[in-house]
Structure 1
Amino acid sequence: MSRIIIVANQKGGVGKTTTSINLAASLAVMEKKVLVVDLDPQANASSGLGVYPEDTRLSSYHVLSDPSCSAEAVHSTSMSFLSIIPSSQDLVAAELELVSKPAREYFLRDAIMPLRDDYDFVVVDCPPSLGLLTLNAMCLGEEVLVPLQCEYFALEGIARLLQTYGLVRRRLNPDIRLLGVLLTMYDGRNRLSRQVKNDIRKTFPQHLLETIIPRNIRLSEAPSFGKPVLGYDIHSKGAEAYLQLAREIVSRHAQA
């Protein structure tokens, strides 16, 4: 049975989609069967893995509308062990359509649970918000991974995310746990980056992952070629960092 990892942060620009793509690709390189679920209407995780809306018939929008079509919505990628349920702009309407439905928080769970035995990992890329799409992801998942950019306002929004996580755990999904907080866009030459790292270590001593993702131009360039960084420049510092993250996550268990 697969481990389901929810990559979430309601703040944009923190490396959430970059983490979803490259963690999934790194796990696939380790010959783990991985399914990415793109829940962001911007569909950046989809295009970052070379899957574009015009090439697909079914997307995560259709999966939320009709969970029984989830297997048909899975698309292969250029990597042997990596598949994706892509997103599309139609997903914008999903939150409005789900609002009036009973058990609206569990539609994604109903769609993905029948597939989980086919994969070692399911990685869900959430939108930069704490709306119904992210709530569906948290009701599906067992582990939450929080990418956090090394900047002054990094800690400002995380309290709300953790509040939502706590609420979901108490009322909707008691099995969910915090996998860890992942520092991204780290520049060791920058005093602010070092200060943020120290502050986060004090705030989350048990949950801060050892792996730190550096600021790296190859990570920024790779999505424009429809590739994870491993397929673009496997020798880059960004690729090395995400391979290290994958190894850490394989050996790490989520904590309460």
Structure 2
Amino acid sequence: MTTVFAVANQKGGVGKTTSSVNLAASLAATRKKVLLVDIDPQGNATTGSGVDKFDTDYTIYDVLCDEVPTEQAIVATPEDSGFDLITANGDLTAAEVQLLDMKSREFRLRNALARIRDRYDYILIDCPPSLNMLTVNALTAADSVIVPIQCEYYALEGLTALMNTIEKIRTVLNPKLHIGGLLRTMYDPRNSLSNDVSNQLISHFGDKVYRTIIPRNVRLAEAPSHGAPVITYDPKSRGAVSYLALAGEILRREQALKNQPAAAS
């Protein structure tokens, strides 16, 4: 059973792409089949995965707007990363406008992924830092949303808008959509504001907040410039250990959800 995660937050600089790439690699390290879909026109998830965003035959733009078969757009990341990728680059900026005039515009990504969904255990979608038609497509295609949050004041402000959007998508377009978890990123325990915001998140969202915390980590910040997830760049770093822990937590949560019907009966 495939689970599709949208990694989303309209606020930039909170660790969406870092989390998408490193969670994909960490899930792949547990021998899961993983596809990462980059739908951010900046294409940072593509380059951070070690793939040249201008040197692939097809990108997610071609899939969404030109109806190129999804399987033709899938590329392999370097062998030590272990996951597949659908790339993005600046061409995707045009898709934001083109989608507005297309039939079933909110469902283009969901329909595209339906062709290849059964090939994977997990599909991760790295969303752009805005609540535009690309993000709507991701949320409509997803089963669950992972929300990376930097523990600072403004992060809480933006969270309300995102939650409202997710609820609207759930009500109108995708009834099965739910919050998979809130992921605290770039966390510095020495900072009292980080601790305060973290406590507020737990107070408001309870067990929706992942126990795993992603720390501020130099090796984690360096890894994208080397075109590699941190678990291949420096597998012993705190960043690598944290994302492996997150993958384990997600797998345990998924297993618990699958066991619920059996427990109820």
Normalised to the residue count of structure 1, the TM-score between the two structures is 0.97
Question: Contact 1:187–1:214 at 8 Å: present in 2 too?
Answer: yes
Counterpart in the other structure of 1:54: 54
Q: Deviations over 1:33-88 (max 9, x none)?
A: 10000000000000000111232110010010134421000000113640000001
Q: Give the aligned partner of residue 65 of structure 1.
A: 65
Counterpart contact for 1:67–1:110, Cα < 8 Å? no
- Please report how far the alpha carbon of residue 223 of structure 1 lies from its aligned counterpart in structure 2 after TM superposition: 0.2
Q: Is the 8 A contact 2:7 2:148 kept in 1?
A: yes
1:1-256 matches, within 5 Å, as 1-79=1-79, 81-253=82-254
SS at match of 1:188: coil
Question: 1:11-32 CA distances to partner (integer Å, 9 max, x unpaired)?
Answer: 0000000000000000011110
Please give the alpha-carbon distance, in whole angstroms, between the structure 2 residues aligned to 1:24 and 1:107.
23
One-letter code of the match for 2:149?
A: L
Is the 1:67–1:108 contact (alpha carbons within 8 Å) kept by the matching residues of 2?
A: no
Instruction: Indicate the SS of the match to 1:122.
Output: strand
Larger helix share, 1 or 2: 2
Equivalent residue for 2:260? none
Residues in 1 aligned to 2:198 and 2:67: alpha-carbon distance in whole angstroms: 41
Q: Percent identity?
A: 50
Q: Secondary structure at the match of 1:94?
A: helix
- 2:241 and 2:135 map into 1 onto residues whose CA distance is 29
Whole-angstrom distance in 2 between the partners of 1:206 and 1:159: 18
Out of 117-126 and 78-87, give the one that drifted further: 78-87
How many residues are matched? 255
Contact persistence 1:28–1:79 (CA under 8 A) = no
Per-residue CA distance 1:92-126 (angstroms, 9 max, x = gap): 00010010112100000111111111111000000
- SS of the residue corresponding to residue 92 of structure 2 reads helix
Unaligned runs of 5+ in 1: none
Task: State the secondary structure of the residue aligned to 1:42.
Answer: coil
Residue 62 of structure 2 contacts residue 68 of structure 2 at CA under 8 Å; is this kept in 1?
Answer: no
User: Moved runs in structure 1, 4+ residues, more than 2 A?
Assistant: none
Letter in 2 for 1:3: T
For the aligned residue pairs, the C-alpha RMSD in angstroms reads 1.3
Q: Distance in 1 between matches of 2:147 and 2:21?
A: 14
